[in-house]
Every structure is written in C-alpha cells, then in structure tokens.
Amino acid sequence: MPTADHSTLEPTPGGPPPGQPGAPRPAHPRPTPLADLAARLGVAAPDPGGDAQVTGITHDSRAVRPGDLYAALPGARFHGADFAADAAAAGAVALLTDADGARRAVGAGLPVLTVADPRAVTGGLAAAVYGEPGEGLLRIGITGTSGKTTTSYLIEGGLRAARNGATGLIGTVETRIGDERIKSERTTPEATDLQALFAVMRERGVESVVMEVSSHALVLGRVDGAVFDVAVFTNLSPEHMEFHSGMEDYFQAKAQLFTPRRSRLGVVNLDDAYGRRLVAEAGVPLVTFSAEGRLDADWRAEDVEAGPLDSRFTVLGPKGERVRAVAPLPGPFNVANTLAAIAALAAAGLDPQAAADGIAEVPGVPGRLERVDAGQPYLAVVDYAHKTDAVESVLRALRTTTRGRVHAVLGCGGDRDRTKRGPMGAALARLADTAVLTSDNPRSEDPLAILAAMLQGAVEVPPAERGHVVVEPDRAAAVAAAVARARPGDVVLVAGKGHEQGQDIAGVVRPFDDREVLRAAIEKDQNQP
C-alpha cells in the first residue's frame, strides 16, 4: 500500500512530487500530555494511552516522527487512517481522526482522539502542540489572485530593513527561515506544517514573517490557529474555478481572512472592485490603498515615473506622510504591489520611509518578470503569469517600456480551469507581435486539445488586431522560436511557469526551468553563423 499525503491538495503547477515531506521541526519540542490535548478538544482522554507525551503533529504518514500525533484526515483519494499502521511504525504515539477513521485504524494499536471534523481542529491543536509559536511573531498574510508572491518578497525586504532582525517568508516559491531557503510544495502549507514552521522560526530568533494565504488554505483550514496582525488583499479575478463554484464562492473564501478569527487589521486595494466590496463587508478594521491615486484611499501613489526596470513614485499617507518609493520591478501592477507592501508595513507599525527604502533594495522576485541576460541585445524575461488578467498586465507593461516588438510564449495547464484557455490565447494574440502557443503542464490532458482551445481564442481576435500566431507544442522549441525572431530593442517573454523547475506531462514531471531553457536558446541563437 503506498503512503501519501492524504489531505485535499492545492495544485502546485509544475512542481515535483513531494520527496521528503513535512516542514522543518523545532529542535527542542516540548512534550504535551495527550490527555491535555483531549481536554482542549472536549473529548475523553483515551484509556489506555492518555498519558502519552506528544512532541509533534503531522497530517502526512510519511513525515511522522517519534512522539507525533498523526492527524488522519479524510482526503480526496484516501483517508489518512488507512495509513495509521505506517504512522505507528514510524513512531506516532496517537491518532486524531473522525469516526470513520477510528474504525479504519483499529489495527494500528494507537490511542485515538475522535472528533466529528478533524480538519477543523487540526490547526488549533497544532498551535497547542508547539506552544502557540506564532504569538511572538509579527505575522502578515497576503491574499488575492495576483501579486501575492511579489508583495510578500517586497514586504520581507521592508521588514529586513526597518526592523533589522531575522525574518521569515512562506509562499509559492519557497519558505525562508532567516537565511535558510526551502523549496515550497504549495502556496500555503497544511496547518501542521505551518505551526511547525512558526515554532522553528521562534526557535531561531525570527521576529516577523510574511506569507501568502491562498483561497484553498482558507477553505481547507490551513491557517487555522493563526491570527495575522495584518492581512493584505491585492485583487480578485477568475482563477481556480476547478475548485470554486464561481466568483462569489472565490470571493467569500478570500474574505475569510478579514474576520476576527483570521486577522486583526486589513489592508485592501481600493482600485479593485472586490476590494471595494471587502471594505463594506470586512469584519476587522481596514486601511486602504490606491495605485491609481483615488482620493478616498488612505495610502495612494502619485507622480509615477515608469521605467523599463522599475518605477519611481511618491506615496501619500493618511497622516500627511510623503514617502519616496521605488517599485523594483516594472509595470503598473508592481507599483500597486509596492504600495500594498508599504501600506501593510506602516499598518504593522513600521516607519513607512524605512520600509520603502528596504523594498527598493529587493533584487527581484523568482519567476516574476525575472530577467535572463546572456549578453543579447534585447530584453528577455520569465514571468509566472498564468491567468488572463496577469498575461494582459505583463504584456501591457512590457509594451510601454520597449521600443521594439514583443515575442511571447504561453501555455495553459491541464486539469485546471478550462474556461481561461481561450481568453488567454486571445490576450496573447492581441498584445504580442509574435504569440507562440505551447504546452505548460498538460498533466493528464492531451496537450493538443489544450492548444486547440487557446488557438480558438487567438483566431477570434480580428486579423487587424492580431499578432503573428505560432503553435508549437514542444515548450523548448517554442522558446527557441520566439528567440529566433528577436531583434535589438525587442522583448522576449516566456510566461506561465515562472519559478517552476518541472513540467508535468502524463503524470511524469520532467526537469524544465523556463529560465534555463530561455538562456540556452539565446546562447544557441547567438552562436548561429
């Protein structure tokens, strides 16, 4: 019987399957009697077994360590209790599960805490096991469709500069604990891993942490047991429609972050229609920001000077503050991300100018308009844009900062929202001079069927408004095709996968990094006679 992560998984496009699962753990865990955890849950302590000492907790049978409470959760394909024997063999001292799980795990020989909905209590229990590790941290959480990753890196840069202490970061690309970097498996870790990360951060002297909070995480309870000092809302556009029933369901998931259970203070983008709705409906005090200069916003940008590599602007604050700011990445959306970061840090009590100065020094964000420079006479960038709004924003930003032509490569992921494929193909065809449609992570789907949907959207763009459309299923060949067309002063954009280092085709994840592939294509093109 295979072992697995049995929870309902949030997709991680192109990421490799988990190899060594489980978050880092604190080096000196504090034992907690199982009977104390039972009392916290309001259930009877197991007899025998109530005297067991719990030193950790995990939802993944592969990550069990001696002394762990194994949270056996019902999942999309398996019930975690089916792996209770594996957990016991690895050293688990007890089991948390539902009535069905308790029946399945009878042969494992572990004392059982039985609750109606184990997922709903796992976060709080994990916090208890690790001694409420987040309470000593300044915690900033970011949600929204686009901009979460970039804004988190900008906030971390501001925290490093303004607080002059060790910081933490948790998100799509990686987890950082001080200077240590750990590759992420998903945007927001499961509750057991999240609380373990907080405990490790506390142990290592981290004073503040910024993290991305996905809609999956809010719905599935991954941030249960955590109350953010500041919660940030960037924007909302169609995404994850394979998970949510529609935009209203998606919005309600995001809105959970702005309730007393999840946060103490919100920072909301007033330029976004859903942000304005959140202002009217949120259950916590809010601070607003506007990169478009709305006068009713608490923080707003003015005198924006956009450049090919960054943007410079002035931030006006609610108390008459005038802050000199630099968005260290190009494009209007990065002005918004930078303004969100400054407003969030100010809301957390930091000096806004010191925060802005730290943000200006951020060297870049992996896979977000990340430059690839092999000495070529044109700009080459890789970006994670994988939804229509993001593709349009990136292309418009590049268009305004280049005097030449734009050659763009894009695919759509398989086993994900199918409704965006046509619009994404149309956006690429309308806004790029060369639109190369290719494969992203087709997963279990036929790559040609995905490309057909993208092409249908592209050809619906009137010929007078449409760039040259190329269909090339092989992603490496597609990148090479875009590079071959580039001339001095042009831009080559490879979009959709960003920081990812794998490509999932028919369940097999092959090594594939757009940045490496783009660099190799440029070098090969330059060496052509």
Tell me the pLDDT tens digit for each residue of 26-57. Answer: 999 999 999 999 999 999 999 989 899 999 99
Asked if the model's pLDDT at residue 12 lies above 60, the reply is no
Strands 138-143 and 180-183: unpaired
Tell me the pLDDT tens digit for each residue of 191-211. Answer: 999 999 999 999 999 999 999
The reply to whether 134-165+207-360 shares the fold of 32-129 is no
Could you tell me the CA-to-CA distances from 414 to 13, 368, 444 in Å, in that order?
A: 9, 22, 7
Q: How far apart are CA 337 and CA 136, in angstroms?
A: 27
Residue bearing tokens 């809301």: 347
Secondary structure (DSSP) of 66-77: TTEEEE--B-SS
- Domain ranges, ordered by start, for the chain: 32-129, 134-165+207-360, 370-526
pLDDT number for residue 10: 35
Q: Which range, of 97-106, 157-166, 375-384, averages the lowest pLDDT?
A: 157-166
pLDDT number for residue 473: 98
Selecting from 1.10.260.40, 3.40.1390.10, 3.50.50.60, 3.40.50.300, what CATH number does the domain 32-129 have? 3.40.1390.10
- Give yes or no for a cis peptide into 332 (omega within 30° of 0): no
Q: How far apart are CA 278 and CA 123, in angstroms?
A: 25
Q: How far apart are CA 92 and CA 203, in angstroms?
A: 23
Q: pTM of the prediction?
A: 0.89
Asked if the model's pLDDT at residue 16 lies above 60, the reply is no
% of the chain beyond a pLDDT of 70? 96
Tell me the pLDDT tens digit for each residue of 113-140. Answer: 999 999 999 999 999 999 999 998 999 9
Tell me the pLDDT tens digit for each residue of 315-349. Answer: 999 999 999 999 999 999 999 999 999 999 999 99
Q: How far apart are CA 196 and CA 63, in angstroms?
A: 12
Per-residue exposure over 403-436, b if at least 16 CB sit within 10 Å of its own CB, e if not: eebbbbbbbbbbebbbebbbbbbbbbbbbbebbb
First-to-final CA distance of the chain: 56
pLDDT number for residue 23: 78
Q: How far apart are CA 131 and CA 69, in angstroms?
A: 15
What average pLDDT score do residues 458-466 get? Answer: 97
Fold of 134-165+207-360: UDP-N-acetylmuramoyl-L-alanine:D-glutamate ligase (3.40.1190)
Torsion over CA: 66, 71, 77, 79 (sign): positive
Q: How far apart are CA 161 and CA 138, in angstroms?
A: 15
pLDDT number for residue 238: 82
Tell me the pLDDT tens digit for each residue of 249-283. Answer: 999 999 999 999 999 999 999 999 999 999 999 99
- Report yes or no: 301 and 277 within 8 Å, Cβ to Cβ: no
Asked if the model's pLDDT at residue 9 lies above 70, the reply is no
Could you tell me the CA-to-CA distances from 152 to 42, 325, 478, 488, 519 in Å, in that order?
A: 37, 17, 31, 34, 27
Per-residue exposure over 106-117, b if at least 16 CB sit within 10 Å of its own CB, e if not: eebebbbbbbee
Contacts with 281 (C-beta within 8 Å, 6 or more apart), sequence order: 255
Residue bearing tokens 């044109």: 378
% of the chain beyond a pLDDT of 90? 89
Could you tell me the CA-to-CA distances from 243 to 136, 186, 356, 390 in Å, in that order?
A: 34, 15, 36, 19
| Average confidence score pLDDT of the chain | 93
Cβ neighbours of 192 (radius 10 Å):
31
Could you tell me the CA-to-CA distances from 24 to 20, 192, 196, 265, 359 in Å, in that order?
A: 11, 11, 7, 29, 28
CA-closest candidate to residue 119, choices 86, 88, 97, 100 = 97
Q: How far apart are CA 161 and CA 361, in angstroms?
A: 9
CA-closest candidate to residue 59, choices 122, 130, 144 = 122
What φ, ψ does residue 258 adopt, rounded to 5°?
Answer: -105, 45
Helix axes 352-360, 148-163, angle to 10 degrees: 120
Secondary structure (DSSP) of 72-134: --B-SS-BGGGGHHHHHHHT--EEEE-HHHHHHTGGG---EEE-S-HHHHHHHHHHHHTTSGG
Fold of 370-526: Protein-Tyrosine Phosphatase; Chain A (3.90.190)
User: For 317-324, which contacts have Cβ atoms below 8 Å and span 24 or more sequence positions?
Assistant: 317/346, 317/352, 318/287, 321/346, 321/352, 321/353, 323/352, 323/353, 323/356, 324/353, 324/356
